[in-house]
């Protein structure tokens, strides 16, 4: 039994246990939402702008739906949304962020490595059970329930020292080339770390990858990537992965804006943080990921980046 559950079992009177376990169960909601989307109509890259500049994904009808228009266009938000991602980050658009906002990563080594090829990307699943003990003094006694930290080890904190939000890492995945561009320039690769709160708020951290030195953690994903889109999580026994190896050493500076998922259904309400410091991967590694995409039948091309989207007046902030 994981440490946290043993701890809760010992501390909580029987009539309160169910409440705590319901609270823990809420953590799984973002993952379940993501999985249900996969049963929707087929889509692939590119998300080609139609003659009027509208996302082609938004025009994919659900052939099984008898709902009236527009409800039978499940990806319509990709086209009508005005907070879509990715975007081009222009230096002259950037508004410098004042205040003391911080972004802190608490990622741990996960074992075993869990990978999913969902037919659109290779996804590293964050572990759902604790791998490190949770200190007793981090649990909050509400007077009814004992609320301990979310039982996954990988977290992101955002805010100030006095007041911050806590997000749980759900999964991370790779795009080639980068989805976000800087002053019109794209980069060889971009890694997205997807986080959520139990009430459904989402934060995605984007890390730009330049061509350079070999990255050992990336190689574990490349070497163990499931070859076809089976939508089944592949557990690779004995292989650990440390997501910190996919982050730059200096993580304090970022560009942030309000955006969306970059894949259908392109849901908005996603807070984006693009780190301004980059990491590197070798050209051989980038080519290996391209061939994984090419060899996945539902992708069948060496790229999986969505085109950039109009800002529609959104502000883009820089934390230097
Ligand atoms: Zn992504």
Q: Where are the domains of the chain?
A: 83-138+150-319
CA–CA dist 221, 165 (Å, integer):
29
Calculate how far, in angstroms, residue 153's C-alpha sits from the geometric centre of ligand 1. Answer: 21
Report whether 209 contacts 187 (CB < 8 A): yes
Widest distance between CA atoms in the chain: 63
Q: What is the band of 97 on the pLDDT scale with cuts at 50, 70, 90? A: confident
Q: What is the band of 78 on the pLDDT scale with cuts at 50, 70, 90? A: very high
Structure tokens at 118: 């969902």
Helix (H, G, I), strand (E, B) or coil at 92: helix
CA–CA dist 236, 229 (Å, integer):
17
Calculate how far, in angstroms, residue 204's C-alpha sits from the geometric centre of ligand 1. Answer: 8
Calculate how far, in angstroms, residue 174's C-alpha sits from the geometric centre of ligand 1. Answer: 6
Could you count the other beta carbons within 10 Å of the beta carbon of residue 82?
A: 13
- Which segment of 30-39, 88-97, 143-152 scores lowest on mean pLDDT? 30-39
Report whether 315 contacts 257 (CB < 8 A): yes
pTM of the predicted protein model: 0.81
Calculate how far, in angstroms, residue 54's C-alpha sits from the geometric centre of ligand 1. Answer: 20
Structure tokens at 260: 């969306």
- Please say if the pLDDT value at position 153 is more than 60: yes
Q: Taking the domain 83-138+150-319, which CATH number applies? A: 3.10.200.10
Provide the β-strand partners of residue 256: 273, 317
Ordered alpha helix ranges (H), the chain: 3-11, 14-25, 29-37, 77-80, 216-224, 283-295
Residues with CB under 5 A from ligand 1 (ion): 192
Calculate how far, in angstroms, residue 188's C-alpha sits from the geometric centre of ligand 1. Answer: 14
pLDDT digits (tens, 9 = 90+) for 7-45: 333 333 333 333 333 333 333 333 333 434 445 789 999
Length of the chain: 320
């Amino acid at each position: 039994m994981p440490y946290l559950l043993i701890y809760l079992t010992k501390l909580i009177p029987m009539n309160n246990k169910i409440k705590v376990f319901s609270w823990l169960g809420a953590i799984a909601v973002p993952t379940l939402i993501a999985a249900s989307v996969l049963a929707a109509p087929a889509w692939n890259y590119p998300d080609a702008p139609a003659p009027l500049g509208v996302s082609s994904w938004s025009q994919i009808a659900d052939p099984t739906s008898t709902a009236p228009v527009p409800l039978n266009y499940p990806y319509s938000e990709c086209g009508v949304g005005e907070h879509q991602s990715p975007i081009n980050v222009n230096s002259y658009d950037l508004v410098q962020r004042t205040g003391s906002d911080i972004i802190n990563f608490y990622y741990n080594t996960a074992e075993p490595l869990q990978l999913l090829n969902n037919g659109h990307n290779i996804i590293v699943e964050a572990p759902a059970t604790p791998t490190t003990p949770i200190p007793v003094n981090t649990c909050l006694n509400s007077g009814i329930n004992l609320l301990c930290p979310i039982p996954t080890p990988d977290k992101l904190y955002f805010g100030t020292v006095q007041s911050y939000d806590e997000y749980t890492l759900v999964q991370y995945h790779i795009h080639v080339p980068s989805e976000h561009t800087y002053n019109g320039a794209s980069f060889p690769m971009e890694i997205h770390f997807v986080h959520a709160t139990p009430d459904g708020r989402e934060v995605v951290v984007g890390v730009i990858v330049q061509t350079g030195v070999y990255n050992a953690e990336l190689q574990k994903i490349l070497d163990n990537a499931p070859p076809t889109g089976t939508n089944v999580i592949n557990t690779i026994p004995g292989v650990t992965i440390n997501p910190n190896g996919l982050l730059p050493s200096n993580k304090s500076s970022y560009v942030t804006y309000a955006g969306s998922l970059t894949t259908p259904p392109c849901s908005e309400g996603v807070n984006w943080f693009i780190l301004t410091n980059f990491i590197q991967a070798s050209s051989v590694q980038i080519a290996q990921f391209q061939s994984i995409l090419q060899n996945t039948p539902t992708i069948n091309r060496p790229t999986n980046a969505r085109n950039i989207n109009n800002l529609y007046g959104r502000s883009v902030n820089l934390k230097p």
